[in-house]
A and B are shown apart, each in its own frame.
Chain A
Amino acid sequence: MRTRDLVVVGGGPAGMAAALAARDAGVRDILLLERDQHLGGILNQCIHPGFGLHRFKAELTGPEYADRFAKMTAAAPEIEVSLRSFVVGLTPERRVSYLKPGALEEVRARAVIMATGCRERTREMIPIPGTRPAGVYPAGLAQKMVNMEGWIPGREAVVIGSGDIGLIMARRMALEGVKVRAVIEIQDKTRGLVRNVVQCLEDFGIPLYMRHKVAAIRGRDRVEAVDVVRVDDKFAAVPGSGFTISCDTVLVSVGLIPENELLEAAGAAIDPRTNGPVSAELNGTSIPGVFACGNSFKVYDLVDWVSRDSELAGRAAAAYLAGGAR
C-alpha cells in the first residue's frame, strides 16, 4: 500500500483551499480525492452571483469562484487530483479506501484533511406529517435539477424554510415562471441575509409566513397542497389558525448537516447535536493527524470564510507533518 504525505477528501472550496495552503506551507505529496467528475463541490450548482466579495473583491457566481481555485489546484504539481474517487473508508491509522470506476484503491496517509461538505436536512428529519407523493424535494436538489439539468420540478411551489438557500431557490423558481405561493418559516425571523429577503421575495411578491409551519403535505401521487398553521412560542399549532395552500411542489430548506459519517466510522468523536467533529480548536478532530474543514467541520453561510478557514487546516496539517508525523 502506498503512503502519501497528505490525503484531502473532497474537492469543494474547502478541500482545494486546504490542499493549496498545505502546498504553500511546504507539503510536497498531496492526493486530493473527489467523488464528482469535477472540482468545485456545491458551488457548481450555485449559478447566482454573490460569491467572492471578501476573497476576491469581486461579485462572482459559484462556478466562477470554484474555477479560480480549480485552476490554481490544477497548476500545482504537488497536488494529484483524482476525480470520480469516492472515499468509502477511513481508519484511525489513516488508511483511506476509495472506489473509482474500475478500482478499489487504498492508501495510507501521514495526515488527512476531511473536506466532505454537508448534506441538507430533509422533510423526514423535522418530520413533516402527511403523505409522501412526488414533488417534495430538498431545495438543493431542486437547485441541481434547475441549474444543472434544466429540469423544472413544478409549476406552483411552496418553500419551507427562509434561510438563504430557501430564499435563493424561491427566486430561482420564480425566474423560471413557477408560481411560488409562499415561504413558510417557523421562527419569528429569517436565518437568511436581509438582502436576500428583499431581492428574492419582496421583488417577486412572494409572501413570507413567519411563525408558521407546514402541518401536513397532501396528495397521493404528486403534491396537491400543504396545510399551514401558525405556531406559538413552543412551536405548537395555534388552534383555528390553519389554512391550505394548493401547490404541486414543496421545496424543503431547513438547514444543513456536516457530512461526517467517515470520521464517525473511524472512531472520531462527533457532536450528536451538530454532527460536526468534537474539537476544542478550529478544524480539529479527536484523531491525531486527521483534520476537518469547511462545511464538514461546521456549516458556513459564505464560501469566502470556508476558503479562509480551510487554509488554516492546510497549514495545520503541514505543521503536523513537519513535526515528524509518520
Chain B
Amino acid sequence: MKVHDVAIIGAGITGAALARELSRYRLSLLLLEKEAEPAFGVSKSNSGIVHAGTQNPPGSLKARLCAEGNRLISGPLSEELGLDFIRCGQLIAAFGPGDLPRLENIKAEGEAMGVEGLEIVDRAWLDANEPNLSREATAALHCPTAGMISPYRFVHALVENAVGNGVVLRELSPVTAISRGADGVFSLTAGGGNYKARSVVNAAGLYADDIARMAGLPPYPIRPRKGEEYLLDRKREHIANRIIFPLPSGKSKGILVIKTSDGNPMIGPTAHDTADREDLSTTDEGLDEVLEGARRLMPSVNKSDIIAYFAGLRPAAGDDFIVRHEEAVPGFFSAAGIQSPGLTAAPAIALMLKGLLAERGLRLEPKEDFRPLRERTVHLFKVPLPRTRELIEEDPAYGDIVCRCELVSAREVRDAIKRGARTLDGIKFRTRAQAGRCHGGFCTTRLMKIMQEELGLSAAEITKRGPGSEIIKDERK
C-alpha cells in the first residue's frame, strides 16, 4: 500500500489551507473528509469576516495567527486563487464616553500585533460614512484592513488548487481508526478504505477529540459554542458600508451587522455553549437576541428583511487554538479548537503546521511544476451587464438563467459540478442558486435535472448534502 507523507483529517478551512500549502512541495498528500464535500463543517456556517487582528487576547496564538492570516488572504492568496475577498473595513461602535477607554485599549492591543490603520473616529465621521448606524453611537474604532470573504468558496478555492497540484482528496471518508506501527507509519481506516501515512494532521473541527482518542491521546476539551446567524435580503445590501461590531463581551465579539461578499447582509452571531456537536438548530430566543443586538447598532434592521438563517458551532477548546506536535504520539499533529477567528487565521495556521512538520523531519523540496494560480469562478450577479453580454457571446448557456433570485445561469451550475459539487448544497455554496429569497422554490427541479445530466444520477439519488439527505423518495416513471 502506498505510504503518504502526510494525511490531513478534515477538509474545512484548516485542512484545506494546509493541503494547499504543502502541495507546493514534492510530497504525497492525502486529504480525508467525512462529509460529501469539503466545507460542510464549521467552515460553511460562520460570519465570513477576515478579521483585522484586533479583539484577541494579547499573546495568544489567535492574536498572532489572525493578524498574519489577514495579510496572507488579502495579499498572495487573493491574487493567486482569485478569492472574493473584499476589504470593506470594520467599525467597533462605542455608546457614550465611558466606552472610549475600551476602544483605546483594543486599538493599542491591535497595534501591538502590527494591525495597520487603526483609528478612532467621531460622530461626524460616522454621519458621513455610516448613515444607518444608530444615533446613539458616539464614536468607533475603524479597522480598515478587516474584510469579508465567502467562507465556502475560500475552502473550495484552496481544495481545488491543492487537488490540481496532486493532493488526493477522499470525500465521504470518515476516519474511524488510527494506529501507529512499530515503523512509525500510521494506518488509517476511513469510509471503507485503508490508508498509510508517515504523519497525520488532525484538523477535524468539532470532531477533533474523536480523532485524538483514536490516536490514543487524551481528548481536547472541546466545548461547542453555538452561533445563530440571520441573512437579510439582498435589497438591504447597502445598509452598512463596513462590518459593524459592538464592544466585545467576555465570550464573543457580540452581535454584529455583517456585510457578506455575496451582497446579502447578515446579523448575528449568538454565542452559547452547547453539549451537542450536531445541534445546528436555530431558536426563537436566538432570533430575538440577534434582532435586538443588530437593532442596537442599526435601528432600521427589520424582521421582515430576513430571508435565511443558520447556526454554526465554534469548536472551542479552552481560550486559544491548539496547534502542536503531540510528543506522546510522534508524527501526530493537532490543529484543534480552531474557534473564531479560525477562518482568518487558517493560512497562518497552515504555515505554522508546515514549520512543525519540517521540524519533525518532513522534507520540503519545492516542486517546479507547482501551479499557484486557479481560474476565478464567474458569477453573473457580480458582473456588470456589458460583461454579461460578452460572456453570453462566449457561451450561450450564460444566458440560460436557472436561479431567478440570485441570477445564476446553467453554465455556472455546470461549472460548479465540474469543479466538484456533488450535492444541492454544494451547488448552492458555489453558485448561490437556491440561496435567495425563494429558497429554491423556482430552481430546485432544474438544478436536479442538470445534476442528472452531468453526474449520471437518477433523481432519487440526488441529495441535499450527502447520503441520507435525498431530496425525493420515489419516482413515478
Contacts and interface: CB of A to CB of B under 8 A. Distances in A.
B is a partner of A? yes
Interface of A: 35, 84, 86, 88-89, 97, 99-104, 119-120, 122-125, 127, 129-134, 137-138, 140-141, 144-145, 148-155, 176, 216, 220-222, 248-249, 261, 264, 272
Given A99-B388, A102-B396, A132-B280, A141 B445 contact: yes
A125 B307 contact: yes
Nearest to B278: A220
A131 B306 contact: no
A88 B407 contact: yes
Nearest to A150: B476
Interface of B: 235, 278, 280-284, 287, 304, 306-310, 385, 388-389, 392, 396-397, 399-401, 404, 407, 409, 437-442, 444-445, 448, 459-460, 463-477
B399 A97 contact: no
A110 B472 CA distance: 46
A272 B399 CA distance: 31
B448 to A, nearest CB: 8
B301 to A, nearest CB: 14
Given A35-B401, A134-B469, A264-B235, A221 B464 contact: yes
Contact of A153 (B280, B389, B473): B473
Closest 7 CB pairs of A and B: A102-B396, A221-B468, A134-B464, A150-B476, A221-B469, A152-B474, A134-B469
Contacts of B441: 119-120, 122, 137-138, 140-141
B284 A129 contact: yes
A88 B459 CA distance: 30
A153 B475 CA distance: 9
A124 B232 CA distance: 11
B310 A145 contact: no
B53 to A, nearest CB: 33
Contact of A119 (B438, B448, B473): B438
Given A103-B399, A131-B280, A151-B472, 12 more contacts: A101-B400, A102-B392, A102-B399, A120-B438, A132-B280, A140-B441, A141-B444, A151-B448, A151-B459, A152-B473, A155-B474, A221-B466
Chain A binding surface, main DSSP class: mixed
B439 A138 contact: yes
A272 B468 CA distance: 39
Contacts of B448: 151
Nearest to B386: A104
Contact of B399 (A101, A127, A151): A101
A124 B445 contact: no
Contacts of B440: 141
B401 A119 contact: no
A99 B280 contact: no
A150 B400 contact: no
Contact of B385 (A104, A152, A261): A104
Nearest to B443: A141
A35 B468 contact: no
Residue from B282, B437, B468, B472 having most chain A Cβ neighbours under 10 A? B472
A216 B409 CA distance: 34
A249 to B, nearest CB: 8
B306 A125 contact: yes
A315 to B, nearest CB: 29
A120 to B, nearest CB: 5
Given A127-B287, A150-B475, A97 B385 contact: yes
A82 B324 CA distance: 63
Nearest to A217: B281
A155 B473 CA distance: 7
A272 B304 contact: yes
A154 B310 CA distance: 24
A300 B342 CA distance: 50
A176 B440 CA distance: 23
A35 B404 contact: yes
A103 B392 contact: yes
Given A119-B437, A221-B465, A272-B304, A149 B445 contact: yes
Contacts of B460: 151
A134 B459 contact: no
A124 B308 CA distance: 5
A127 B291 CA distance: 13
A144 B445 contact: yes
A124 B439 contact: yes
16 contacts: A84-B400, A88-B385, A101-B400, A119-B437, A122-B437, A122-B438, A131-B281, A137-B444, A141-B440, A151-B460, A151-B474, A152-B474, A220-B278, A221-B464, A221-B468, A222-B469
A275 to B, nearest CB: 10
A222 B423 CA distance: 14
A120 B463 CA distance: 23
B307 A124 contact: yes
A137 B440 CA distance: 9
A262 to B, nearest CB: 11
B471 A134 contact: yes
Nearest to A102: B396
Nearest to B401: A86
Contacts of B467: 221
Contact of B392 (A99, A138, A150, A176): A99
A152 B397 CA distance: 29
Contacts of B307: 122, 124-125
A104 B469 CA distance: 37
Nearest to B439: A122
A261 B404 CA distance: 11
Contacts of A153: 471-473
A89 B384 CA distance: 12
Contact of A99 (B287, B399, B464, B476): B399
Contact of A150 (B444, B470, B477): B477
Residue from B304, B400, B438 having most chain A Cβ neighbours under 10 A? B438
A152 B389 contact: no
A226 to B, nearest CB: 13
